[in-house]
Structure 1
């Protein structure tokens, strides 16, 4: 018996591939808004004014440093307790303390007329005392090999009126400092009255303030002894 092959119907339904619908729209590129660059602001005038004020303050402070010689003030702080016996003066220590104060005041007076110059060739600093004819140098020896322009013109360093004002102010400031010292007060004014105590409290402070303002407004041109030389003052 022959088996007949059954015809198979190959009706294959081909389904088209389902492609996911993708949006063909490209993503919008968000361009950042262009910010205008900040314009460079020039340095304000307030900054320059503050720098000038700071420079002027430092210069005024340097001028006040010449108001009292450092060595004189140091000697006063060291010797006053010894001479006054810590404020308990007697017939011997009282005159000695007064003599010490007079010598220190004379030191402040004379130091206001001292100055220093620098040699242009060797750079050596020479110290001298101002006179009406010029600056008299203490430690300068004329070198025959040096030129005539080795030192600046010493006539420019002669005594002026403002030097006398600075000298008197320096003595007054030293007197104000001495009157504020407890050892000096206990020596010369052991039991002051109420009115005297008020004068001793107010007058030294007023003298110091007025003289300090005077030095700030009219600064000294003298370099003194031991202070750095600032060019261009004369």
Structure 2
């Protein structure tokens, strides 16, 4: 019986081409799977459930506009903040939940902090801020595209405004998603599976 995937020959023949193709496909699938960790799915779900209630189905009064603005602001803040959360297995195999800081990490699950050398590996990096901004852009794109929010803040919409509120969110969401896939993060966030190293 032969294995499904044969090892690469290493001689520059057809096996090398197959191996490169397999690696490319594997990378594409892995970065697509990583999108779930980085896209603001939780905040979008909360927003989509609450926005029809807060906007009164798009028929907003002043109080509805204030509540909707607060809803968008709180969900956007959650998207931004959650990009700095992480989880990992400690020496005993327990999953630990932390927030990345400049010094290392802040333990939020009530357990003792890990040793400083372990904490330093989880400190903030540029990619965390990059992902936080992208997450914010993707969420705001979804919020702008929502019909109830558009009707709430722009009850009488010109053709140009309607085009902007249709095209800009789609482009922002698409570009944000592609950048998430291109520049993945090693953070697991809270609520996503942590793989044992």
TM over 0.5: yes
Tell me, in whole angstroms, the C-alpha distance in 1 between the residues paired with 2:127 and 2:172: 18
Q: How far apart are 1:46 and its partner, in Å?
A: 4.3
The answer on 1:58 being equivalent to 2:23 is: no
Q: Which runs of 4+ in 1 moved over 6 A?
A: none
The partner residue of 1:199 within 158, 164, 167 is 164
Contact 2:55 2:149 in 1 (8 A): yes
Equivalent-residue separation in structure 1 for 2:132 and 2:196 (angstroms): 22
Distance 2:40 2:140 in 1: 13
TM-score (norm. length: structure 1): 0.72
Q: How does 1:98-177 map to 2 (within 5 A)?
A: 98-121=69-92, 123-142=93-112, 153-177=118-142
Larger RCO of the pair (alpha carbons < 8 Å, separation 6+) = 2
Residue equivalent to 1:76: 47
TM-score by length of 2: 0.85
Taking a change above 3 Å as real, the CA distance of residues 231 and 217 of structure 1, as seen in their structure-2 partners, is farther
The 3-state SS of whatever aligns with 1:211 is: helix
Higher Rg of the two aligned structures:
1
Q: CA deviation at 1:71?
A: 2.4
Q: Secondary structure at the match of 2:38?
A: coil
Q: How far apart in 2 are the matches of 1:57 and 1:191?
A: 43
- How many residue pairs end up in the alignment? 185
Q: Is the 8 A contact 1:117 1:152 kept in 2?
A: no
| 1:208 paired residue among 170, 173, 179 | 173
C-alpha separation between the residues in 2 aligned to 1:129 and 1:142?
14
Match of 2:6 in 1: none
Question: Could you tell me how far apart the structure 1 residues matched to 2:87 and 2:117 are?
Answer: 11
Unaligned runs of 5+ in 2: 1-8
Question: Conserved in 1, the CA contact under 8 Å of 2:141 and 2:170?
Answer: yes
Superposed CA RMSD: 2.2
CA distance in 2, matches of 1:78, 1:65: 19
CA distance in 2, matches of 1:152, 1:117: 14
Say if 2:100 and 2:122, in contact at 8 Å, map to a contact too. yes
- Give the aligned partner of residue 4 of structure 1: none
Greater fraction helix: 2
